[in-house]
Amino acid sequence: MKFISSILAFLIVVYLILPFSLSSCVKTQKENSGTIISLYDKNKDEIVKMNIEEYLVNVVSAEMPSSFAIEALKAQTVAARTYALRKINKNLPEHKGADLCTDFSHCQAYSYNSDLKSKWGNSYLKNYKKIKSAVDSTAGQYLAYDNDYAITVFHSCSNGITEKASEVWGGSFPYLVNVDSPGDYLKKDYITKAVFSEKEFENIIKNKFNNIDFSNEAIGDISYTSGSNVKDIVIFGKKIKGTDIRKMFSLKSSSFSIDKKAQDFVFTVSGNGHGVGMSQYGAEKMARDKQSYKEILSHFYPGTELKKV
Ligand SMILES: [Zn+2]
C-alpha cells in the first residue's frame, strides 16, 4: 500500500511538473526559431552566421531612431525582415558567399552592440529592449506581393508624397507608388541647402559630361515626377535626370530647386532619401497618431499582404 502511494505521489508530481517543463522547452525552441542567415562583415572581411531575428535587432537599431514610436519600429522591422529574406541565397559577388552584408549602401545598415553602447550610453538597455520588443512581437512576419517577398525599400523622409519606383529606378511595382506622407514635414532638417560657387558648379557638370557649352543658359526647363521630385532639368543646354543631379551634388534628395544668388548656385532640398516605399518619418507620424504597424505598412506598400515565415 505504501509502495502504491509512493508511485501515485510520483505520478502526481510528474503530472504537475511535466507541462511546465514542456512549455519551457517549447518556449526556448520558439525563441530560438527563425531563419539562419550568413552576414558578410565588410570591415572585418569575415562571414558570421546568425538568426535573422538577432540580426534584425542590430539592423533596426541602425536604421531608425530608437526614440520612434513602437508601431513605427515594428513597421521598420517587418520591412527590414522582408528585405533580408529576399536576399537569401542570391549569391551576390559583393557578399563573398554570404546572404547579406553590413554595408548600408548595398544592403541594410548594421550596428554592433558595442557601437550601440557608445551611441546610447546609459540608455543602451532601455533602447535595446524597446527595439528587441519590436522584433520579437513581429517575429517571422514579412510582406508579400504576388506570392513573392515584396521589395520593401524605405527612406528617411520624402517631400510629403512618396515616389513611384518606376520613375526612380524603372520597372513596374504596383505597391511602390505615390502615397501621402504628411509626417515628413515634421523632420527637423526637412529642408536643407547646398551652396556651390559658379566654378564648383561648372566643374561638377564638366566632370560628368563632355562637350558642355557653358555659354548656354545655366538653368533651363525643369520637369517633375508625379511625386514632385525633379525628373529632368536642363543645365547649360544639357538635359540631366534629377536623380543624377542628386548624386553629382550629393543632395539629400532629388526634390530640389536651384537659384542663382550672386555668384553662387543654391539648391533648396526637401526630404532625405530616394523617396520610394516607406518614409520613416511618415511612419513615425502615423504611429504617433495611434495607427498600428499593419496600417503603416499597408499605407506605404499598398496591396501587399502581411505573412509569417
Ligand atoms: Zn550587401
Least confident among 1-5, 25-29, 146-150, 264-268: 25-29
CA of residue 110 to ligand 1 center, whole Å: 11
Given a contact cutoff of 8 angstroms between Cβ atoms, the answer to whether 165 and 171 are in contact is yes
Composition of the chain by helix, strand, coil, percent to 5: 45, 25, 35
| pTM of the entire predicted model | 0.87
CA of residue 309 to ligand 1 center, whole Å: 22
Given a contact cutoff of 8 angstroms between Cβ atoms, the answer to whether 101 and 40 are in contact is yes
What's the CA gap between 103 and 115, in Å, rounded? 15
pLDDT score of 9 more than 70: no
CA of residue 245 to ligand 1 center, whole Å: 25
Higher pLDDT, 171 or 141: 141
CA of residue 99 to ligand 1 center, whole Å: 8
Higher pLDDT, 83 or 25: 83
CA of residue 174 to ligand 1 center, whole Å: 25
Tell whether the torsion through CA atoms of 188, 76, 42 and 87 is positive or negative: negative
CA of residue 39 to ligand 1 center, whole Å: 9
Least confident among 6-20, 97-111, 226-240, 265-279: 6-20
CA of residue 58 to ligand 1 center, whole Å: 15
Tens-place pLDDT, residues 255-305: 999 999 999 999 999 999 999 999 999 999 999 999 999 999 999 999 999
Given a contact cutoff of 8 angstroms between Cβ atoms, the answer to whether 254 and 229 are in contact is yes
DSSP designation for 303:
T
CA of residue 114 to ligand 1 center, whole Å: 21
CA of residue 169 to ligand 1 center, whole Å: 18
DSSP designation for 239:
E
CA of residue 78 to ligand 1 center, whole Å: 18
